[in-house]
Amino acid sequence: MISIKDVAARAGVSDRTVSRVASGETKLIRPATRKKVLKAIEELGYVPNRAAQLTRTGKSMVIGLMTDVVATTPFSTEIVRGIQEALEATPYQLLSVNTAGDPAKEARSWQVLREHGIDGVLYVTMFHRQLPANIQLPATPVVLVNCWAAERPDVPSIVPDDYRGGRDAAMHLIANGHRDIAYVALNEHILAAQLRGSAFVAALAAKKVKLREDWVVPGLVGDVFSDRFVAFENATRLLRGPDRPTAIVCGNDQIALQVYCAALELGLNIPGDVSLIGFDNFEAISNVVQPGLTTVALPYPEMGALAVKTLTGILRGEMPKTLHTKYRCQLIERGSVAAVSTSPSARAHG
């Protein structure tokens, strides 16, 4: 069995240095030395005795990851990828539990994490939301990702700036000359829908572009997790007549795909007849449809990496400079938006 002494000999350091690196006590260790020790640990396949370590240091070097339905949602798994990649540069291991959004399962999951003596928790939700007022967070350090707790302003949170992303989407179309712009929205019960929708309205008002309320339609209806798409039907209605929008902002890329289908069913060209812009940068859609979908990318990997940095900093006794972070979303330009000089309604009224 590989021991600390074997690792120390391979790395050319003391047993104590190996022990410190393995337990995350790296404040007094030079980065080059830490890197050398981690390399030796990987090459020799050294496995620290976590039970002995917990007894000796009070630290398990295990971080808990609690999710609702993130593991079964394609674009949300990018948060987990960002977490996993960021943890590779740390001595911490990850213990994941998935609650499927069930409060009873969540209560059992907290118990599992406590039993493993985890050092801290990353609490990740599938969609941007406020946690319920009765949420029971442990005394262990916690960082919230894609959510926040209004009753616990002391708990760090990292969320996407959905409002600014929605504004950027609308402004991109306006900058390309569009004045007849429709909006096919996310489920109204989701916070992101409210933020992106209000940003759309504000962007049009800021640029003195008329808002057609009959052109703001739902793309999803029903309770969250059991909702259904109505984007195809509503987009077909918007695009069928001569008085139609020259551009459509879509609540997410899945809605944009349905709008693509509606436009093609009506024999309309994208972006020649109608420009489209999505949200999420779900590449299974945005990179596959033709032309490629211009969309706003959620910064999920970056949010996951920042969550790791924040939590490991807290575990070292370093509180973050900013407790609550709104991470900017990035506009990804592809081929679904074309510039126009004058919109159909402007020509009709000219």
pLDDT of residue 40: 87
pLDDT tens digit sequence for 146-177: 999 999 999 999 999 999 999 999 999 999 99
pLDDT at 38 over 90: no
Mind spelling out the 3-state secondary structure of the chain?
Answer: CCCHHHHHHHHCCCHHHHHHHHCCCCCCCCHHHHHHHHHHHHHHCCCCCHHHHHHHHCCCCEEEEEECCHHHCCCCHHHHHHHHHHHCCCCCEEEEEECCCCHHHHHHHHHHHHHCCCCEEEEEEEEEEECCCCCCCCCCCEEEEEEECCCCCCCCEEEECHHHHHHHHHHHHHHCCCCCEEEEECCCCCHHHHHHHHHHHHHHHHCCCCCCHHHEEECEECCCCCCEECHHHHHHHHHHCCCCCCEEEECCHHHHHHHHHHHHHCCCCCCCCCEEEEEECCHHHHCCCCCCCEEEECCHHHHHHHHHHHHHHHHCCCCCCCCEEEECCEEECCCCCCCCCCCHHHHHHC
pLDDT of residue 254: 95
Q: What are the chain's domains?
A: 62-160+300-329 (3.40.50.2300), 162-297+332-349 (3.40.50.2300)
pLDDT tens digit sequence for 248-305: 999 999 999 999 999 999 999 999 999 999 999 999 999 999 999 999 999 999 999 9
pLDDT at 236 over 90: yes
pLDDT tens digit sequence for 6-20: 888 999 998 888 877
User: With pLDDT > 90 as the criterion, what percentage of the chain qualifies?
Assistant: 57
pLDDT of residue 91: 83
pLDDT tens digit sequence for 78-126: 898 999 999 988 888 888 888 877 888 888 888 888 777 889 999 999 8
Q: What is the mean pLDDT of residues 129-145?
A: 88
Average pLDDT of the chain, as a whole number: 88
pLDDT of residue 31: 86
pLDDT at 59 over 70: no
